[in-house]
Chain A
Amino acid sequence: MSTDHGQTPSQAIGPFFAHGLIPEQYGYAFTSLAGTALASERTMGERVRIQGQVLDGEAVPVADALVEIWQADAEGRYMHPAAPPRNVEFTGFGRAGTGADPHNRFLFDTIKPGAPQTGHAPHIHVFVFMPGLLNHVSTRLYFSDETSANERDNVLQSIAAVRRNTLIALREQSDEGAVYRFDIHMQGPLETVFFDL
């Protein structure tokens, strides 16, 4: 047996993950670990929708991507085993496939996270998996209506100004409430900033 503890290499997710990872969204006979609705009626916080597309190097929306998000609650607290228990469970974790929507969008119904205690601006971690992507990518969604917090955020400020806007989701008001638009560009002049994570 090998004694090295080198990391197990990443591989692409492949095109046929829906029955395993998002079966309920795609209508397969298995339970989903997480879906597109993160907030229950009892979850505190402003209800928002996160909506966007994953666009390839020719700006074509990707129809077979898996998008995962992880976020803090309205008070900026992440749910994890070391964190103190809450009255209302909010895992802050969601999954969406882009193949279930006619426009190949991912749509999450969640709450707007509060600012974390670290002094960073409110944000949502976003992870993208798809065939052709040998390692998943990791990025962050910040909010267009948090201008002053964004200006103080050391992660955002560490990014060249010309690319910073790729991480800012644009707030729009729809009939159903607040929608943040966040398109993820894999390549091209609008290529999203991805983190080494």
Chain B
Amino acid sequence: MTSKPFPGRDWNSHPAYVSPDYRSSRLRAPSKPLQQLPDTPELHAGPHFDGNAVRQLDNDLLKNGAHDGEPLGQRIVVTGRVLDQHGQPVPDTLIEIWQANAAGRYIDRNDDNDAPLDPNFLGAGRAATDAQGRYRFYTVKPGAYPWGNHHNAWRPNHIHLSVFGPSIATRLVTQMYFAGDPLLEFDPIYLAVPAAARHRLVAEYSPDVTESGFALGYIFDIVLGGAGKTPAQT
């Protein structure tokens, strides 16, 4: 049995657990240091979901919640690649997304934001990466919305993402933001990330991805942690 420690997360990239400006982190973040694990094979495996978990329209939020029309809002394409730390594509892995509608309202029954629901928008989808690690979603740009963290606090436009990757150490839940959003500099969740890593959460507008006459294109690449196939660089 090996006693080599598992490398763990890159804490220069991830937010600290306790981030006092993000109020709900105060009572919910662990207070003690994380325990290191010995490096064992099960840390290099994990639940596996690929294209078999994706049905037609699952990646098309413009259609998967439509009843008698199309959702309102700015249509967008979000695409990118899932990569490991060495820049190698992560194929056949599942990405789940969820978001507010164009008015800034979630379908969630607990969302009490006074903005309208959209009867043609669910705000949830999933897609698998292809052999090159690429994924693609169609949706509407989510609206900003107020929240109770501090006086007159508003969340920037964002899409939530959940990614599996090849192992339990590559699991990632994060949020994708939009370049140029003036709310970013006031958002304690975004600002909890070390400054040098924040740009990795911001999707860039791409004229190449934009579909003529239909939808604005955004590129968002995702780099997973965990111990990759090649030895970790230090």
Contact = CB atoms under 8 A, between A and B. Distances in A.
Given A11-B173, A91-B47, A118-B41, A6 B32 contact: no
Contacts of B169: 197
Interface in B25-72: 25-32, 34-38, 40-43, 45-49, 53, 55, 64-65
A57 B15 CA distance: 19
Nearest to A27: B109
A19 B86 contact: no
A191 B33 CA distance: 11
A9 B96 contact: no
A122 interface: no
B106 A19 contact: yes
Nearest to A17: B98
A78 B19 CA distance: 36
A97 to B, nearest CB: 11
A182 interface: no
B10 A7 contact: yes
Interface residues of A, number: 72
Contacts of A118: 1, 40-42
Given A31-B55, A33-B49, A33-B96, A6 B197 contact: yes
A158 B162 contact: no
A20 B64 CA distance: 12
A49 B86 CA distance: 40
B35 A196 contact: yes
Interface residues of B, number: 86
B168 A193 contact: no
Interface in B1-28: 1, 3, 6, 8-10, 12-17, 19, 22-28
A154 interface: yes
Which of A19, A137, A195 counts the most chain B CB atoms within 10 A? A19
Describe A's contact surface by its main secondary structure: loop
Given A13-B173, A118-B41, A135-B17, A29 B201 contact: no
Interface string A168-197: 000000000000000000110001111111
B87 A5 contact: yes
Contacts of A132: 22-29
Contacts of A29: 65, 122
A6 B13 contact: yes
Contacts of A15: 108, 110-111
B140 interface: no
Interface of B: 1, 3, 6, 8-10, 12-17, 19, 22-32, 34-38, 40-43, 45-49, 53, 55, 64-65, 83-87, 94, 96-98, 100, 106-108, 110-111, 122-126, 160, 162, 168-169, 171-175, 189-190, 192-194, 197-201, 221-225
Which 5 pairs, one residue from A and one from B, show the smallest C-beta to C-beta distance?
A: A20-B98, A132-B24, A196-B8, A132-B28, A20-B124
